[in-house]
Amino acid sequence: MNRISRRMLSGGLVAGLSLLAVDANAQARSGAWTRNAAEGEWHMPGRDYSLQRFSPLARINTTNVAGLKASWTFSTGTLRGHEGNPLVIGNVMYVHTSFPNIVYALDLSKEGAPQIWKYVPQQSPDAIPIACCDLVNRGTAYHPSGKIYINALQGDLIALDAKTGKELWKVRHPERSGTQVEAITYKDGATITVAPIVIKDVVITGISGGEFGVRGRVSAFDANTGKHLWTGYSTGPDSEVLISGDANSNYPSHKGKDLGVSTWQGDEWKKGGGTTWGWYSYDPELNLFYYNTGNPGSWNPDQRPGDNKWSMTMFARNPENGQVKWAYQMTPHDEWDYDGVNESILFEKGGQKLLAHFDRNGIAYTVDRTNGKVIVGRAYGPINWAKADIDLTTGLPVRDARYGTTSKKNTEGICPAAIGFKDQQPAAYSPITGHFYVPANHICMDYEGVEVKYTRGQPYVGAIVRMFPGPGGHRGRFFAWDPMAGKVVWDNPENLAAYGGALTTAGGLVFYGTMEGWLKALDQRTGKLLWKFKTPSGIIGNPMTYTQAGKQYVAVLSGIGGWAGIGVAAGIGAEDPTAGLGALGAFGDAGQFSTQGGVLTVFSL
């Protein structure tokens, strides 16, 4: 580099980047929902309540990211899939693992980040076969009083002392059965993989188990004592779903009493799925928290005629009493396992309070988060089960009957597959560009319903699925999305699914990981690859960034697994393409690209 170039880099260009960072900081703090995270720290799964996964840090940027190097690593000691990301509070990093859901506290103020404490929940190994799609955990939560919360697979919400790792209390979700209230357990088919959310002095968490006929719900507990505060069900009468009046006055199909019962045949709602294992966001100005519910049970649609409310639904609830402000069902009478739990990301445009949601069904929704009215509903991939645009008048998808499913035949060539064009891997938003950055799958399928009988605690799936690569032959993609125009801005294909989350920064970068184990940094505006690093295992975790002693770091968990990587994580052979609930048909060769292993890798300049 010549002297003039050095002068430009150290002078005008750096000044320009500083202005960019200042502007990004101002935009990032334009709403109260983004003000709850210290600039150089990471206090919750999405960094702040918005789930934007945007950091105002800009020391690592488009001009210097090529010099990023591995700074230190940490082995988690477990081998199954590693989703989620660490938290950083002050000088301490909190790292979680797959089953048995260990929590580590690491001292970032010392070289190599030595361990401060380690907590291992006491769990029954009998919970292992109850988990649907790998033994993952999506992260911890933090309360300013000095508590860390972790969900254990077998069904426990656990509070720990953040300084010592001492267990403070442990509780389980209650379940209503007539006038009786009992705690759920893995023996009932219910597990927990979701990261809880802390709002004021309330901890809210959900459950998994839609493939075991579990009735989905979220429950709230006192953050200090663990006392149960309320439970809001996904199905059932309004009194248990906590709906008062119409669920959504914008759409006729959402008006009426007890739709969580009347849109099901008989008592199918009692084993109706709608589980809540995705990500949670919160708007302090509206005092509403947002989450989505999963697929109805069983996967065989012939066994449950009707819209099957409120599975496949966005909910906005008051966090203190659970009352529903509004609900919006994305895929009524789901016939494809388009599990709707993907995150709702809060943002603003033109003074409107909005949220964006990239559903497994292949449609991206831009929604007025004050009232649940859909503003944009357009496909972000080559879907064929419905038209590319939803009907904005009715709020309903316009289906193509040729790709409906039944137990009477095998429906072939459905796009997307049950794993969706995006699964749990969270997207990120940049206030610099106004675009979303979406790690995605690119998978289609054949699907045949199968009659299945319900037995408590036993699998209740009811379908045979075979997945395969989507149009063009690739199995993943990473793209930028304009939420108001409803269109792709730029698009990069991936051989395997981009099954890890995204991170945007004020340095103009977007980071994401691949199942092969590459952590990549792209230019937000163009999608150009600026840097990549091969981590020890496939990445299904979410990159995050923080500062320590004035230096910026980027960290990511690697450890292949989840639904897409279940073949490698659980050692399932690729001989049967329907194994792993169909995932082996698409990802049976994932073991050629990655091996097991949970490792945290931390990078710096």
pLDDT score for 557: 98
Residue range 121-135: mean pLDDT, rounded: 93
pLDDT score for 183: 75
* φ, ψ (nearest 5 deg) of residue 260: -70, -5
Q: Does residue 238 carry a pLDDT above 80?
A: yes
Do residues 189 and 175 lie in contact, with contact meaning Cβ atoms separated by under 8 Å? no
pLDDT score for 176: 59
Share of the chain above pLDDT 70, in %: 93
Do residues 585 and 467 lie in contact, with contact meaning Cβ atoms separated by under 8 Å? yes
| Residue 343: inside a domain | yes
Q: Does residue 31 carry a pLDDT above 90?
A: no
Residue range 498-503: mean pLDDT, rounded: 98
Q: Does residue 29 carry a pLDDT above 50?
A: no
pLDDT score for 479: 98
pLDDT score for 180: 54
| Residue 560: inside a domain | yes
Q: Does residue 33 carry a pLDDT above 90?
A: no
In total, how many domains does the chain have? 1
pLDDT tens for residues 529-560? 999 999 999 999 999 999 999 999 999 999 99
| Residue scoring higher pLDDT (174 or 391) | 391
Residue range 442-453: mean pLDDT, rounded: 97
pLDDT score for 5: 35
pLDDT tens for residues 146-157? 999 999 999 999
With cut-offs at 50, 70 and 90, classify the pLDDT of residue 35: low
pLDDT tens for residues 377-401? 999 999 999 999 999 999 999 999 9
pLDDT score for 574: 83
pLDDT score for 37: 76
Q: Does residue 10 carry a pLDDT above 70?
A: no
Taking Cα atoms as reference points, which of 121, 24, 134, 41 lies closest to residue 79? Answer: 134
Q: Specify the amino acid at residue 429.
A: Y
With cut-offs at 50, 70 and 90, classify the pLDDT of residue 326: very high
CA 245 to CA 231: how far, in whole Å? 18
pLDDT score for 369: 98
| Residue 548: inside a domain | yes
Helix (H) or strand (E) holding 586: helix 583-587
CA 509 to CA 504: how far, in whole Å? 6
| Residue 17: inside a domain | no
With cut-offs at 50, 70 and 90, classify the pLDDT of residue 9: very low
Q: Does residue 118 carry a pLDDT above 90?
A: yes
Q: Does residue 324 carry a pLDDT above 50?
A: yes
pLDDT score for 184: 73
With cut-offs at 50, 70 and 90, classify the pLDDT of residue 14: very low
**From the candidates 334, 337, 423, 446, which is the catalytic residue?**
337
| Residue 367: inside a domain | yes
Catalytic residue at 107?
Answer: no
Q: Does residue 308 carry a pLDDT above 50?
A: yes
CA 89 to CA 107: how far, in whole Å? 10
DSSP string covering 325-382: EEEEESSTT-SS--------EEEEETTEEEEEEE-TTSEEEEEETTTTEEEEEEESS-
| Residue 16: inside a domain | no
| Residue scoring higher pLDDT (34 or 444) | 444
Question: Which segment of 176-185, 232-241, 514-523, 575-584 scores lowest on mean pLDDT?
Answer: 176-185
With cut-offs at 50, 70 and 90, classify the pLDDT of residue 32: low
What distances in angstroms separate CA 503 from CA 57, 508, 520, one per listed residue?
Answer: 11, 11, 10
pLDDT score for 4: 32
pLDDT score for 174: 80
Share of the chain above pLDDT 90, in %: 90
| Residue 514: inside a domain | yes
Residue range 27-39: mean pLDDT, rounded: 59
- The parent domain of residue 344 ranges over 31-604
What distances in angstroms separate CA 1 from CA 5, 9, 66, 200, one per listed residue?
Answer: 6, 10, 15, 52
Q: Does residue 573 carry a pLDDT above 90?
A: no
Q: Does residue 19 carry a pLDDT above 80?
A: no
For residue 147, give the CATH number of its domain: 2.140.10.10
Residue range 28-42: mean pLDDT, rounded: 67
Residue range 445-464: mean pLDDT, rounded: 96
Q: Does residue 11 carry a pLDDT above 70?
A: no
CA 151 to CA 137: how far, in whole Å? 8
The length of the chain is 605
Q: Give the E-state strand segments of 80-211 in sequence order.
A: 87-89, 92-96, 103-107, 115-119, 141-143, 147-151, 156-161, 167-172, 174-177, 180-183, 197-199, 202-206
Q: Does residue 517 carry a pLDDT above 50?
A: yes
| Residue 23: inside a domain | no
